[in-house]
Amino acid sequence: MRAAAPRATLSSMNGDTQRPLDLRSMVGHRESVGADTPLEEVHRRFSENGRDFLAVVDGERLLGVCARREIAMQLGARFGFSLFGRSPAREHMMASALRLSVASPLPEVLDKVASRTDLSFYDDVLLVDGAGGFVGFIFVHALVRLQTGLLVGNIEALERSRKEVAEKNKVMEDDLLMAREVQLAMLPPTGAPRPPGSRWTFSSQYRPAGGVSGDFFQLIPISDASAGILVCDVMGHGVRSALVTAMLRAFAEDLRPMAADPGALLTRLNQCLMGVLRQAGHLLFVTAAYAVVDAGRMSLAYGQAGHPTGFIRRASGGIDLMPAEGDVEGPALGLIEDYAYASGTGGLHAGDAAVLFTDGLFEARNPAGEEWGQERLKAEVAAHGGLPIGELLPAVVSAAARFSGAEAFEDDVCIVALEAGS
């Protein structure tokens, strides 16, 4: 008989019941490289697999972890490839990475993850066996989602810990200011290599107003010819909003099978969010917009939930609103549990692009208190219509910044674009 794997234990607050949890079941990926792998090969592996972290191993022995963000900074610096491209991965490992044993009790696991207060807050967690061997990586959003589920399923425990959580919220707010770069690293990077043969191009501009942001976006590849872009704006700022964006990222990953239908995806996303927040006792909602660009059929599908209507930047130079009339204009997520969101559809030509944004962009105000507004935003997109989307979006954000006359935006700013290729 096969030996049972070491198990962590979930216990209710009253200790009457126990539910075993095998931490191995939470492994998100097992990507690794050899200790002597050249750094340029490590960089290539990151580009191909889309991971943020790779284990560094020497045979069966785990040495440490390489992080995408650190490798990108090293090789992206002047003469980076010349200086570091051939050096081995063992020389470029993270200074520290959280390691958890498969035998660790779950309360200890969650305490260690929650206690990280620096730029490692959103890093994947290493899982090792009893001998210290590499088992795999656990995504932090999986642990956040698990912890949220425990809180929702145990109202008594939530009430007992309410005061403690309230006292720690302020501390977490200060600590999570350090997490800005980590949160940025969770988002799809502009200019990242597209899958070979893709007939779509993605670009983004993201400017958090504070340390952590309530704005969120996700690129969802569907096929070589089609992809979707999801933009969300969580009510408020700070720790709670940042944690909700982490949940949204996890939900969006889980909902990839319905990514081709904006109405269906938003409907299910709303149900997932309501399920988590039902017992929280506070009003919280999320505006969202989701567009699918299909360069094979040259078609666009679009849905929105209380969000500003996006644009279609035509290759010919014109600007149209997304097809968002009637039932497509649904309420924000988190308000009506059984609401069925609808999709609007439209045609595209090669070079047309879907452009989505959050309200922080067009609500930028000048010193006189005048708002930049959606009409100026639309006009700015039209004025730079001939630019590639990778140049268009920075030009639009710069125009809003010039109008406000301030060094930073008062609210989070996010604008993304997905262009149909020929």
Residue 1: pLDDT above 60?
A: no
The overall pTM is greater than 0.85: no
Please provide the CATH number assigned to the domain covering 193-420.
3.60.40.10
Instruction: Give whole-number Cα distances, 306 to 286, 329, 382, in Å.
Output: 8, 7, 24
The helix (run of H) or strand (run of E) holding residue 162 is helix 155-176
Q: What is the pLDDT of residue 180?
A: 47
Question: What does the chain come to in residues?
Answer: 422
Longest dimension (CA), the chain: 76
Cα–Cα nearest to 397, from 188, 204, 202: 204
Residues forming a β-bridge with 65: 55
SS3 state at 78 = coil
Q: What is the pLDDT of residue 118?
A: 66
The DSSP symbol for 257 reads G
Question: Tens of pLDDT along 329-342?
Answer: 899 999 998 999 99
Rg (CA), the chain: 23
Amino acid letter, 149 = G
**Where in the chain are the domains?**
8-157, 193-420
Q: What percent of the chain has pLDDT over 90?
A: 41
Residues forming a β-bridge with 323: none
Average pLDDT of the segment spanning 270-285: 79
Give yes or no for a contact between 25 and 5, defined as CB atoms under 8 angstroms apart.
Answer: no
Residue 402: pLDDT above 50?
A: yes
Question: Tens of pLDDT along 196-237?
Answer: 668 899 999 988 776 666 788 999 999 999 999 999 998 876
Residue 168: pLDDT above 70?
A: no
**CATH (one of 3.10.580.10, 3.30.450.20, 3.40.50.1980, 3.40.50.720) for 8-157:** 3.10.580.10
- Rounded Cα distance between 406 and 366, Å, is 8
Question: Tens of pLDDT along 191-201?
Answer: 545 566 688 99
Give yes or no for a contact between 231 and 354, defined as CB atoms under 8 angstroms apart.
Answer: no
Token digits of residue 365? 């105000």
Q: How many CB atoms are closer than 10 A to CB 379? A: 13
- Rounded Cα distance between 62 and 128, Å, is 9
- Rounded Cα distance between 157 and 13, Å, is 6
- Rounded Cα distance between 81 and 94, Å, is 19
